[in-house]
Amino acid sequence: MNPTASDRDGSDICVIVPTIREYECVRAYVENARDHGFDVSRLHFVLVTEEFCEVDEMRAMLDELGVSGEVFDGARREEWYEANGVAEYGHVVPAASHAETSFGLLYMWADDSFEYGIFIDDDTLPHDDADYFGRHTENLAFEGSIERVSSDEDWVNVLYRNADEHGLYPRGYPYSAMDETVETDAVAVESGEVVASQGLWTNVPDLDAVRILMDGDLEGQAQTRTTADDFGNDFVAERGNYLTVCSMNLAFRREVIPAFYQLPMDDNEWDVGRFDDIWSGLFLKRACDVLGKRIYNGGPLCEHNKAPRSTFDDLANEVAGLELNEHVWEVIDGAGGDADSYAAVFDAMADALAEGDFAEWNNGAFLNHCGEYMRDWLDCLDAIRRTPAVADD
């Protein structure tokens, strides 16, 4: 059988992989760890999937690889909620959605032995020449001087390095913040200040459907591709500047979980989707700015191999939230300025969304819906901490 949480020996990193198709990518990440001498006993894989997927094959793969891990389809998630006394909060994690990554956060929160989490999308692969897990953990432990990026639009394009050549803006970057003037300098970062490490991506850029169409691609991938040469020095964004945070290649400290909820996208009456990780990144950046923390951006790079699909299907999933995406950051900017914890900042942002009047925007009521779910997220985390650990069989 696969090792359960109670069987783990020394795992302090929870690797969360939402997958319904290409779960075999886990093999490449484990091989990368072993090739670079990274201690795989530190890794515990949590594959979040559905009953219609190859659940047994996923478990067999983890056994074959000799790594700690569990596979959670919908039924297993329901069992987990019951066992941890939070069945009433099962709605905070939508089924069959990329936002299922939030289940991995709940799983981590219930086990104090996890110090770090890593999100990996199943359409990515590590670069052979980089120690994937080692680099992420080094980033989280970083101290010293690093490049700081800002703009006159209070937004940082994570692809800014060669933007004059490729003209790319990542999924979630507001259209109103384009054509910004970028400034860079150096800033000193103290030990413990970095709480998240966002690895960027080569091959298929992470763009929204409108930008993919503008790039002349009808198969959801974009004609323009990125290479390692498009990325230079690692960097942080200036305080008060927002940036897109994509969860396909992202490591973080356990402490940020209260402010890193992946919102209930896709299955809602407004049909808003595709912004779960983007908006969670806004929440995290606001919390970091309030608490004096940083999001580290750059390596390790991953290779993003997005499968061909209709760009118009992606557009249909995104269009309901495009106008809201222009304004969410403005709603939360300034919230929780006197807070002293991630939960307190997040609670203030939840209030700003739940109680705001957004009738002037298309599907504005969805933001109220998100605010209510954010409150439920904090209540769920509190309930997990109050629930005694499930006894071993």
Q: Which two tokens stand for residue 145?
A: 């001087």
Q: Which two tokens stand for residue 303?
A: 């290779």
Q: How far apart are the first and last CA of the chain?
A: 14
Task: Identify the three-state secondary structure at position 68.
Answer: strand
**CA nearest neighbour of 187 among 145, 228, 227:** 145
pLDDT at residue number 5: 41
Contact status, residue 202 vs residue 127, Cβ threshold 8 Å: yes
**CA nearest neighbour of 257 among 352, 170, 367, 382:** 382
392 within a domain of the structure (yes/no): no
pLDDT at residue number 3: 43
Residue 303's CB: how many other CB atoms inside 10 A?
Answer: 17
159 within a domain of the structure (yes/no): yes
Is the Cα torsion angle 370, 371, 375, 381 positive or negative in sign?
positive
pLDDT at residue number 41: 97
278 within a domain of the structure (yes/no): yes
Distance separating alpha carbons of residues 133 and 36, to the nearest angstrom:
9
391 within a domain of the structure (yes/no): no
Residue 356's domain comprises 7-386
pLDDT along the chain (393 residues), means of 10: 51 96 96 98 97 94 98 96 97 90 98 97 97 98 98 98 94 97 98 98 96 95 95 96 97 98 91 94 98 98 96 94 98 97 98 98 97 98 78 40
29 within a domain of the structure (yes/no): yes
What are the phi and psi torsion angles at 325 (to 5°)? -65, -25
Distance separating alpha carbons of residues 93 and 245, to the nearest angstrom:
19
Q: pTM of this prediction? A: 0.95
Helices (H), 36-131: 55-65, 74-83, 101-109
Place of tokens 């309901």: 320
pLDDT at residue number 95: 85
Number of domains in the chain: 1
pLDDT at residue number 338: 96
1 within a domain of the structure (yes/no): no
The strand pair at 124-126 and 294-304 is best described as: antiparallel
Task: Identify the three-state secondary structure at position 119.
Answer: strand
**Using H for helix, E for strand and C for coil, what is the string for 90-109?**
HHHCCCCCHHHHHHHHHHHH
Contact status, residue 241 vs residue 325, Cβ threshold 8 Å: no
